[in-house]
Amino acid sequence: MKRSLTLAAFALFLLKPLCPAAAQENPPAPNAASGPVNGWFARVTRTQAEQPHWITPIATVTPRLEEEFRYDILWQRTNSGTTMENYGAGKGLELIPLERVEVILNIPPYLAHNNPAIPDGFGDFSFLLKYRLFTANEEKGNYILTAFLGVSLPTGSPGNGATDAITTPTIAYGKGWRSFDVQGTIGGTLPTGNTSAIGRTIPWNNAFQYHLWRRFWPEAEVNATFFHGGKNDGQKQVFLTPGLVIGRIHLWKRMGLTFGSGIQIAATHFHTTNHNIIFTVRLPF
């Protein structure tokens, strides 16, 4: 609870820039002076100008290339009646080191199970590589297609991580029509070992967003997982996730603030959790 209150207080402190005088839709152009830092930001600005300017959904990973730090908290209600708290939710630092390429270094989440039978601890470290295949901004077609490769390493404490590394190849897509856009991903988790116990999954996520009043992005997501092998073999789990994202709010120079929240409601008979609350905060730069 203390962790939640601390983060909430921090978020409220950051809400001061909501004043119209501080609002800014896009980061300012980098200084024309030469140097590796200005060169980096010039590349980021140029790369992002080529793609649609939608907001990142709450649960679905965006096909857009982003440069930001992201931190999420999940409260997941399990079938046993306990609420597991997930601090970090496998989010972290997102960078654009090359044109058309993004690297995401995810901080291991801390899992508090609130169940004496399951030890609390850190989950696995993971990273994600994005390669943007093609795109067009709002003036030239408003679409994007990106390939992902995610890797999760078995670094978590006992009971909080997988026994083997897992790779996740994914295709991400998006299309916009004026103030409305759809962003989605479909992929597969492929364990490098112990597959009979871990199993494979096919996650398929789609987010439907509407841009309202400049900074408000109400959305509805469909988050589906199909299980093959493992203890949930043959099952499917679907969540309907209404939510709201607010941003981007200018803070200082290139840095902005985006935050939002949503609730995942199980839409299938089989589900491992239900009524999961997600809170997300991002600092794009």
DSSP code string of 107-168: PPPEEE---TTS--EE--EEEEEEEEEEEE-TTTT-EEEEEEEEEEES-SPTTSS-SS-EEE
What pLDDT sits at residue 13? 41
Instruction: Give yes or no for residue 33 having a pLDDT over 50.
Output: no
pLDDT tens across 70-112, in order?
999 999 999 988 999 999 999 999 999 999 999 999 999 999 9
Range in 3-12, 222-231, 265-274 with the lowest mean pLDDT: 3-12
What integer is the mean pLDDT of 50-64?
98
- CA 34 to chain CA centroid, Å, is 33
Residue 260 burial (10 A CB sphere; 0-12, 13-18, 19+):
buried
Token reading at 252: 């200082």
H or E element: which one contains 99? none
Token reading at 210: 């509407």
pTM of the predicted model as reported, rounded to 2 decimal places: 0.85
Rg (CA), the chain: 19
pLDDT tens across 185-218, in order?
999 999 999 999 999 999 999 999 999 999 999 9
Residue 196 sits at φ, ψ, to 5 deg, of -65, -30
Instruction: Give yes or no for residue 31 having a pLDDT over 70.
Output: no
Average pLDDT along the chain: 90
β pairing state of 125-136 and 101-106:
antiparallel
Dist. CA 204–CA 188, nearest whole Å:
9
Instruction: Give yes or no for residue 7 having a pLDDT over 90.
Output: no
Q: Is the peptide bond before 200 cis (omega within 30 degrees of 0)?
A: no
pLDDT tens across 136-191, in order?
999 999 999 999 999 999 999 998 999 999 999 999 999 999 999 999 999 999 99
Classify domain 2-284 by CATH number. 2.40.160.40
Dist. CA 129–CA 122, nearest whole Å:
22
What pLDDT sits at residue 34? 57
What pLDDT sits at residue 35? 78
**Which of helix, strand or coil describes residue 184?**
strand
Query: Is the pLDDT higher at 29 or at 210?
Result: 210
